[in-house]
Every structure is written in C-alpha cells, then in structure tokens.
A and B are shown apart, each in its own frame.
Chain A
C-alpha cells in the first residue's frame, strides 16, 4: 500500500509531469493507437494461423462423396419446379425429396408483423429435415442451411446449393459414422426465415414482442454446435468466398473458418475472403498495403453490425457459423472450376471434421479479424485473453486512454488546485469556484433523457403514422432530424455556462463516459469501437471550455462534424461515391441522402426484429454524450480578472 499512502502522490512529480505534458501525451496516445491498429495488418505482427482444436482432424479422411449425377438431376428438377412457384418456396417438392432420402422432415411457419406498419403482415415457410445420428442420442447437432431464393428475387439464385445439399443428405444418410444429428434447413425470406427458425428452435424472442411471430417447431435435434450456410450461384464454381461477419459484429470461431478454407484448398478451389485471395509480395510495404485493404474491408462490414449472410444470426446463440458463397467467375487467373463432386467433398470434409468435435468450439475464442488469408492470428492454449488483450484491445485502449489522461489532468488542475487554494486562502477563491454539482448532474441526466427519448421515438411515431396513414419511414427520418436539430439548442439551457470549474467538471464527466463507452463497445464489436474512437476522440480532446471566441466557434464546427447523423451521412456518401464512381456529384448526393434515410430506418427495423443494438446504443449513449460535449463547446467563460489587472499594470 506504499503507493497509496505516499503523501506525495497527490501533487507529486507524476502529477506535475502529467499536468505539464498531458496534451502531448494525449496526441502520442491517439496516434500510437492508430498506428497499432494499422500495424495489425502487417503479417509479422500476427501469429500465423493453425488449428487449436485438435479434435477437428481436418481433411484426414478420404472423401467419398460421389453423388454428383444425383445433384445435377436434383438441380434440373428444382429449376423446373421453381418455375411453378413465382414468389414462394416449392415446399411440396422439397418435402418429398427429404422424405425420399429418409430424413425426419418438418415445415415451419412464421409471420412477421411489419414493425413500421402494424397492418402489414408477411408470412413465410421453412423446410427442414433432420438426419438422426447413428452413433449417439440426439444431444448435439450440426446445421447445413440454404436460403431459398425464388426466381423474382433480386439476389442471385441459390438453387445449386439446394441440389448439392439434397445430394449430400442422401449420401450422408447411408453413412454410419455420424455422432451428431445433421439438420438440413431451407429458409425463406433471407434472414427473416433463419431468425424465426432459430428463435423457434430455442424458444426465445430476440427483438420486440409482437413483431416476429416465430411459430413452433415440431421436430428438434440437440444443441447446435456449428452451422454452415451455403450460397452457390452456379453448378460450376470458380471461386468460393467465405463470409463470417454476424449480427452486432459477432464473429465465429477461427477454427471453423480455418477448417472451411482448408477444405477448399484441399479440393483445389480458389477461395477468398472479402473477395481477395492470398497474395505474396516481396516488398513488405506492398504486402502491408494489400492486407491493410482487407483489414479495412472487414472493419467496414463488421462495424455496421449487420450480418452479411444467414450465418450471422447463429452467433447470438453461441453457435459458430459461416457462409460459403460460390461464384462461377473467378478472379484468379488460370484457376479451374469445380463441379458438384468437389463441392460435395468440401461439405463432406467439413461435416466429418465437425462430427469429430468432442466439445463446443472453445479454444480460439474470438475470431476477430482476418486481414490475411492463411495468416490469421489466433493462438491456442486458452488464448482469447492473450490474443484480444495483446493484439486488438491496445489499439482502442490507447485511444480511449487519451481521454482518461486528459480528464485526469483536468481533475488535478481544477480539483487538486482548489483544494490547495482552500488550504492557502479560503475565502477569496470560494465564491468564484463554487462547484454546482446538482446542476451538472441535472444537465448530464437531461441529455441522457433526451437520448432515451430519441431511442423510443420510432415506436410512438409508427403509432401516430398508423392512425393518419402517413409513410412511417419518411416520418421517422424527418422527425429524428428535426429533433436532433432542436436538441442543438440545449446548451442555452445550461445555467452555469460562465462557471469555468463547473464546465470543466462536466467535461471530465463526458470524457470519462466516452472513454468507458468506447472500451465497452470495442469489447463487443471491435471494428465499431475503433471507428468511433478514431473519429470522435481527436475532436473530443479539442473541446474545452474556453474564453477565446474563435477557438470556441472552431470547436463547435468540428464537434458538429462528429454528430452521429453527420458521420452516418458522410460514411454513406463516401460509400456511394466508391460504389458509383462514374455518376455525377449531384446524383451521388441525392442517392447518398436517400441511402442515409434508408440506413436509419433499417437500423430501427433491425433493432425491432433481430435485436440489433446499433440504433439503441447510438441514441441512448452516443447522442447524449455528444450533447454534453456540445454544451461544453458553448461555454461562455469570462477572462480571468487577475490576468487583466496584471496586464493593465504592465501597461
């Protein structure tokens, strides 16, 4: 306890150094955080990948799948059948096939009551068959799922994956070695179907009540250990893309990813991640650049918190899942295309490895990023700790640390000094530096109340819109923008804008809150955390209660740029520009604004149906915090009197 009771600790050397150099320390911390993050893409910074779960024994068995002719005939039959069902799933055919193969076959009905318009109702149907394991009771299960896409769908077809799934089911049903049930699942309506099926399987509701009625399942297998989602767009595949990003930025276990890529490599299929394969560069700078682009692509997808495939909804239930998306065209030169045999063998190999699992995936915990293909960092030996703490969190912690350092310095500057002054001369200082604790807390709570108000607004708006038959989505967007604009006037409610000490106290509170939130966010969704930290921290560090008018205007403008709405619009605009580089600027802006509106409405709908927490977190935490800083930027501090008098004396 010597550290604690050291009497010099209060205003000791350390604190003095901190007070003197804190701005430099903050700058250094911020940039070292950014550099750390960038360096993550450099291969020597990552440990190379290997399997940490020995039980998987990937690719050790001889593949025996040979039902390719059956798959082709299934494919042709299905194509014929699909023509009869324009907009729904051809479930009689699928049911018949599953039954012929000899699986326990069930259908599952679900209904969605549109969260924005209670009168609208959509219903859908999933079909699934369960292969009961020969060597174990039904305590554990694996899932092979395919999203069914009718011919009118905007997405590319997935009919070949249904064909290969049926062929594989036929093959697997004859084998004796299964120790886990395999569920073959065909879902409708993209992510809605899989969400409803998972909710029904586990008997829970993830989103709002009365939005997605998940219905009931008649047949179940055991606890699901892993899931593979297949999206093959053609019967002959030239490139297999592995997709992993899930809801709220969750990622599957690395072993599963490695397993899938190893199986693809074994069959000689060109496999990619984020549409990029493995490349070797002699020049380390070029190599870093290449992998850094991959890293940014992954961060961009993960930060949105929206799953990029049906696998993303499994993660919430502790199920490791990924999507294999097969394209006919390959980017790699000279690579060959593979047919149903190889794809079937990839599936066979993957499932036989998963069949070997003795316990849940647990060894390599977080699957964070794969900037590199084969070089994915993950260490075994209960290593989540080592990996997360050593590789990723420092980047965010360094950036958030800048906030803590600055608030610490401010605390000692104002609180520490006032204590000293009190001891020196009590009466003179007290009147000026009276701390208005109750008012500070009031403002702090008021801003958070505003945030909660915004969070709950969409529900009430939809109710009102229902009554007057307005379009809910545009209503929500314009109300949100209007309310955000009204809240900009909040600083004029702050009663202590002239009190430097109180403003600084509020500033300290806000910085601590922001720092804590960033760390918490990064624990859940690292990409979002690092993005928010990189954007908001430098400006937050600049916001100070000041008496200089120019500086105060500058910080208001800068801080306005970090408003969540402004950031969202900017991101969407940049994204639109990158997607359509040839379109005129005016067109891009109008498209971008449309897309922003869509993004907000979708995030609200997602939070109601899937329990995506992006909208709630931004409105209930980031906007209040932003408003607090906004109040600080509007501080109106008089110049200290003694300085003025001193200046007069010198004159």
Chain B
C-alpha cells in the first residue's frame, strides 16, 4: 500500500513539477514577446519580408477589416488574401481582446505551444507503448536503442522550448503575422490526430486548409493515423466525410459573409497562381519574375504539383506505419515549396523535431544543416538591406540565400526520413551489419 501511494506521490510530484515548468516557460516566453512588441524593434520585424508575406501580414488584415466596416468589399482590390471566415474570426477576436492586439497574438502563440507539448507527450507515450509491445520482434542487441522513459518526459519539454524560444516563431509572433493563427489550427489538428478524435481533427484541418490551402493534403496522414495506429477504418472514413462537409460549410459561410464568390480569386487564386511577386523566403518569386509569360502556366502547374502531390504518394506509401513522421515530412515540404512561406511556418515545423529524439543517433547532417541555417538566416536581412536600401546588391543575392535556406530544410528532412529507415533496419536486424563476414553499409536504393 505504502509503495503504491509513494508511486502516486512521485507521479503527482512530477505532474506538478511539469505544470510549474510549463507555466514558468510560458510566462517567460510571454514576457519576451511582450517586451519585443512594445520595443522599437516591433515595426522593424513586422516589415521584414521574411516575417510577413502578402498572405499573412496583419496590416492587410486591419485594412480589410476597416474596409468591411465601411461596407466596401475588401476583395475588390489586390489587398486582402485572407478568407472571409478568417476576417470574421479576427473581428470577433478583436472584440474579445478589446483591441489589445499584442495579447491576442501572445495568447494564441502560447496556446499553440501548449497544444504541441500535449501532442508530443501523447505521441511519445504511444510510441513507447508500441515499441514495448513489439519488443519481442526486435533484434536482441538493438534493444538498447529503444525509447527510454526519460525521453518521454524530456522531449515534450524540448518541443515546448523549441516552439516558445525559437527565434523564427518569436519573430513570427512579434511581427503580428496571421501565421500564428494558422499554426494554432495546425497544432490543434496534430493534437486531435494523436488523440484519435475525428471531429476536432477534421474541422481544424478544414479550417487550416481554408486559410492557406496547402494543409489539405494532410488528410492522408490523418486517415493513415486512424487506420494504422487506432486500427479503425470507420474513423478514417468519418474523418474524410467530416472534412468534406466542413469544407463545404466553410465555403457556404464565406460566400454568405462576403456576399459573393469574389473572394475565391483573391484567396486561392493568389495562393495558386502567385500574382504577387514580393520576395519572401520561398522559391516562387524569383522564378516567376524571371519567367517568360507564355511559360508561366506550365511552371505554375509544375511548382504547385511539386509542393502538393509529387511527394505525397511515395512518402505516404513508405511511411504509412509512421503517420506522425509523414505529417512532419509533408509539413516540411509544404513549408519549403509553398508559394508564400514565412519564418513562422519554418519555426513551427522545426519545433516538432524533438518528438523524433530516437532518430537523433542516426542523423548525419545536423551540423551542416545548422551552419546553413545560421548563415542563411543572418545573411538574409543583410542582403535585403543591401539590395533594397543601399542599392548595392541585387535580387540574385537574396535569392541565393533563400535557396540555401530551402536546401538546408530539405537536407534536414531527408536526414530525418533516412534516419527512420536506418533505425527500422537496425531494430530488425541488430547493430551488426555484417555481409558475408565483412562490414557492410546501409544505402538507400
């Protein structure tokens, strides 16, 4: 009896401890964000193209809200690229927060962080249970590579830390970019995915898909999660049905709110055909400023297929047993190849990486990727300044940096995916890699 209570006490202690730590971290992060938002750096950060793109700048949203309040159609010009639903949402939020924009952004950012923390916790314990259940099928000398109980406690905290104190998400929040809200729905989606609740998952997926289109491909990992982890095909089907229903409901609401379908052209038309070529950290702007007009359609198609469908099928087949990793991979691909990416997207994806702490030993490019990230993110604002203000550099330089940034992300993703393959192999065959008595090496073919 006494042993049991002490165990319980320890657990309670741990829980309390973790709650305290979360509160401490969140308040620190909130203080940091609040200080930056009130400082003179806020406008500098908010005006950087790395932070706010035509899709997510708060300036455009507030302009749109103003036009709406004057009964002018905000979609008649080339100004606003948010859906009517998001406009309605921001309007309600502004009322709730009584125009305290900074608290609004801080609250939503912290909520995203906590949701990610919960997601990571749930996911890690699921993975741990699954590995323990399958222990007998693994090779004996590979057992030391399984997840350890300490990982279960540590890595969710690392996820939270990586989200709250990541400079990318920090700038995203301080720069008032609406990616903060997109990230919230994405994290809600991840959370309900690992919990196995189809309704919340599909609705938040529909919301984020309606906001920025690209997440709609995440329906596949969600369904796979239901099928392969919770072993329930019905849930997957329900999921898809709810997704379709909620997307159509959202469309109906939007067309009602905007009074016609003109918003479609300004929101999805802008995402898909990329008319606004303001530079950002993505790869679209440079190509399409250089492109001859009669090739434009062809390359729009190929770029968008590259961002959405090209990797979807092979990755879904290869990693169907690890749908969470598949989600990460797809999020990465969207971030690299979407038409208007910003640092908020990158920060969100990067903060999920601590969930894959078990793959760390198999990753090889960590240093290289880190150095490229460091150099690219410090050179980007400098080259922007030299190009735009000093008139002494040019677009090629800025594009070079964004290209390096994209390459670093792709390296990272490939490394993580390959690490998963290697780990599977080692768990199955043991750490000895002898082929006919000689040291063999693993290759991907």
* Interface residues in chain A, defined as those with a beta carbon under 8 Å from any beta carbon in chain B: 1, 4-10, 250, 315-316, 318, 360-362, 365-366, 382, 384-385, 404, 408, 411-412, 415, 419, 422-423, 426, 512, 516-517, 519-520, 523-524
Nearest 7 CB-CB pairs, A to B?
A: A318-B391, A10-B364, A5-B444, A7-B442, A7-B441, A411-B367, A4-B414
Tell me, rounded to whole Å, the shortest Cβ–Cβ distance linking B209 to chain A.
29
Min C-beta distance of B380 to chain A, whole Å:
10
| A415: chain B residues within 8 A (beta carbon) | 367
| A512 touching B374, Cβ below 8 Å | yes
Contact in complex: B374, A384 (CB < 8 Å): no
Across the interface, which residues of B come within 8 angstroms of A412, CB to CB? 367
CB within 8 Å for A519 and B375 given contacts A4-B365, A316-B390: yes
Selected A-B contacts with CB under 8 Å, 17 pairs: A4-B418, A318-B390, A365-B391, A365-B393, A366-B392, A384-B393, A385-B397, A412-B367, A415-B367, A423-B361, A423-B431, A520-B379, A520-B382, A523-B379, A523-B382, A523-B383, A523-B393
**Does A250 contact B367, Cβ atoms closer than 8 Å?**
no
Q: Does B232 count as interface, using CB distance less than 8 angstroms?
A: no
State whether B391 touches A4 (Cβ < 8 A).
no
Is residue B378 within 8 Å, beta carbon to beta carbon, of the partner chain?
Answer: yes
- A-contact 0/1 string along B417-445, CB 8 Å cutoff: 01000100000000100000000011110
Given contacts A250-B390, A423-B361, contact A4 B411 (CB under 8 A): yes
Q: A5-B418, A250-B392, A408-B367 are in contact. Are A516 and B374 (CB under 8 A)?
A: yes
Bound Cα distance A10, B39 (Å):
44
CB contacts (< 8 Å) of A360 on chain B: these are: 391
**B379 and A422 form a contact (CB under 8 A):** no
Decide: A512 near B371, CB < 8 A? Known: A4-B365, A7-B443, A423-B431.
yes
Asked if B292 is at the interface of the complex by the 8 Å CB criterion, the answer is no
Interface residues of B (CB under 8 A from A): 144, 361, 364-365, 367, 370-371, 374-375, 378-379, 382-383, 386, 389-394, 396-397, 411, 414-415, 418, 422, 431, 441-444
Closest Cβ–Cβ distance, residue B127 to chain A (whole Å) = 20
- Besides the known contacts A8-B441, A318-B390, A520-B382, 18 further A-B residue pairs in the complex with CB atoms under 8 A apart: A4-B414, A4-B418, A5-B414, A5-B444, A7-B442, A9-B365, A10-B364, A250-B392, A360-B391, A361-B391, A365-B393, A366-B393, A385-B394, A512-B370, A516-B375, A520-B378, A523-B383, A523-B393
The CA of A519 and the CA of B383, in the complex, are separated in Å by 12
Contacts of A404 in B (CB 8 A): 371
State in angstroms the CA–CA spacing of A84 and B364 once bound together. 78
Interface SS of B by simple majority:
helix
Q: In the bound complex, how far is the Cα of B439 from the Cα of A8, in angstroms?
A: 12
Interface centre among B367, B394, B414, B418 (most CB of A within 10 A): B367
Bound-state Cα–Cα, A448 to B176, Å: 26
Q: Establish whether residues A315 and B390, one from each chain, have CB atoms under 8 Å apart when the complex forms.
A: yes
Q: Which of A1, A5, A8, A384 contacts B392 (CB 8 A)?
A: A384
Complex: A195 Cα to B87 Cα, angstroms: 44
CA distance A315 to B144 in the complex (A): 62
What residues on B are CB-neighbors of A384 within 8 Å?
392-394
Once A318-B389, A524-B382 are accepted as A-B contacts, the answer to whether A9 and B364 lie under 8 Å apart by CB is yes
Q: Which of chain A's residues have a CB closer than 8 A to the CB of B392?
A: 250, 365-366, 384
The minimal Cβ–Cβ distance linking A624 to chain B, given in whole angstroms, is: 15
B383 to A1, Cβ gap below 8 A? no
Alpha-carbon gap, A75 to B414, bound state (A): 74
How distant is the Cα of A9 from the Cα of B393 in the complex, in angstroms?
Answer: 36
- Classify the interface of chain A: helix, strand, loop or mixed: helix
B306 CB, min distance to chain A CBs, angstroms: 15
In the complex, number of A-B residue pairs with CB atoms less than 8 Å apart: 74
What separation, in Å, do the CA atoms of A318 and B394 have in the docked complex? 13
Nearest residue (CB) in A for B364 is A10
The minimal Cβ–Cβ distance linking A187 to chain B, given in whole angstroms, is 23
Decide: B386 and A524 in contact? CB cutoff 8 A.
yes
Residues of chain A contacted by B431 (CB below 8 angstroms): 423
Q: How far is the CB of A394 from chain B (nearest CB, A)?
A: 15
Considering only CB atoms, which chain B residue lies closest to A365 in the complex?
B392
> Which residues of the partner chain A approach B361 to less than 8 Å between Cβ atoms?
419, 422-423
Find chain B residues with CB under 8 A from A523 CB: 379, 382-383, 386, 393
Measured in the bound complex, the distance between the Cα atoms of B385 and A520 in whole Å is 12
Residues in A with CB closer than 8 Å to B382 are 520, 523-524
- Given A408-B367, A523-B382, A524-B386, A4–B415 Cβ distance below 8 Å? yes
A6 to B444, CA, bound (A): 8
> CA separation between A183 and B397, bound complex, in Å?
34
Alpha-carbon distance between A315 and B386 when the two chains are bound, in angstroms: 11
If A315-B390, A362-B391, A384-B393 touch, does A6 touch B367 (CB 8 Å cutoff)?
no
Using CB atoms, name the residue of chain A closest to B385. A524
Please measure, in the bound complex, the distance between the C-alpha atom of A282 and the C-alpha atom of B444, giving whole angstroms: 61
Partner of B394, one of A250, A361, A365, A408: A365
In the bound complex, residues from chain B placing their C-beta under 8 Å from that of A1 are 414
Given the known interface contacts A408-B367, A419-B361, the answer about A6 and B394 at a Cβ–Cβ threshold of 8 Å is no
- Name, among A4, A6, A366, A524, the residue most crowded by chain B CB atoms within 10 Å (CB to CB): A4
The distance from the CB of B162 to the nearest CB of chain A, in whole angstroms, is 12
**Chain A nearest Cβ from B3, distance in angstroms:** 27
> How many angstroms between the C-alpha atoms of A362 and B392 in the bound complex?
8
Expressed in whole angstroms, the minimum distance between the Cβ of A386 and any Cβ of chain B is 10
- Closest-CB distance, A174 to chain B (whole angstroms): 33
Q: A residues within 8 A CB of B393? A: 365-366, 384, 523
In whole angstroms, how far apart are the Cα atoms of A384 and B386 in the complex? Answer: 12
- Which residues does chain A contribute within 8 Å of B442, judged by CB atoms? 7
Q: Which of B144, B374, B375, B443 contacts A5 (CB 8 A)?
A: B443
> Separation in Å of the A398 CB from the closest CB of chain B?
15
Instruction: Give the Cβ gap from A612 to chain B, nearest Cβ, in Å.
Output: 14
Min C-beta distance of A225 to chain B, whole Å: 11
How far is it, in angstroms, between the C-alpha of A334 and the C-alpha of B365 when the chains are bound?
Answer: 66
How many angstroms from the CA of A426 to the CA of B392 in the assembled complex?
A: 54
Complex CA gap A523/B364 in Å reads: 31
* Cα A318 to Cα B382 with chains together (Å): 15
Q: How far is the CB of B443 from chain A (nearest CB, A)?
A: 6
Q: Which of B364, B386, B394, B422 contacts A382 (CB 8 A)?
A: B394
Kindly state the separation between the CA atoms of A512 and B415 in the bound complex, as whole angstroms.
22
Distance between Cα atoms of A443 and B422 in the complex (Å): 36
Q: How far is the CA of A362 from the CA of B394 in the complex (A)?
A: 9
- How many whole Å from B194's CB to the nearest CB in chain A? 26
- Cα–Cα distance between A315 and B392 once the two chains are bound (Å): 10
For residue B443, which residue of chain A has the nearest CB? A7
Q: Shortest CB–CB separation between residue B242 and chain A, in angstroms? A: 37
Q: In the assembly, what is the distance between CA of A570 and CA of B237, in Å?
A: 75
Contacts of A524 in B (CB 8 A): 382, 386
- Closest CB in chain A relative to B377 CB, distance in Å: 9
Taking CB atoms, residues of chain A closer than 8 Å to B364 are 4, 9-10
Most chain-B Cβ atoms within 10 A of its Cβ — which of A7, A9, A426, A519?
Answer: A7
Neighbouring A residues of B374 by C-beta, 8 Å: 512, 516
Chain A residue contacts of B441, Cβ below 8 A: 7-8
Bound CA–CA A517/B379 (angstroms): 9
CA distance A517 to B374 in the complex (A): 10
Inter-chain contacts of A10 with B (CB < 8 A) = 364
Inside 8 A of A9's CB, which chain B residues have their CB? 364-365
Who on chain B is nearest to A411 by CB? B367
Q: Report the separation of the CA atoms of residues A5 and B442 in the bound assembly, to the nearest whole angstrom.
A: 9
A441 to B418 Cα, complex, angstroms: 29
**Chain B residues in 8 Å Cβ range of A385:** 394, 396-397
Q: How far is the CA of A422 from the CA of B148 in the complex (A)?
A: 14
CB distance from B369 to the nearest CB of A (A): 10
What's the Cα separation between A519 and B422 when bound, in Å? 37
- The reply to whether A6 and B443 contact each other, CB–CB distance below 8 Å, is yes
Alpha-carbon distance A512/B376, docked complex (angstroms) = 13
Is B379 in contact with A519, judged by CB distance below 8 angstroms?
A: yes
Which A residue sits closest to B411, measured CB to CB?
A4
Find chain A residues with CB under 8 A from B422 CB: 7
Closest chain B residue to A382 by CB distance? B394
Return the chain A residue nearest B440 by Cβ: A7
Write out the residue numbers on chain B whose beta carbons fall within 8 Å of the beta carbon of A318: 389-391
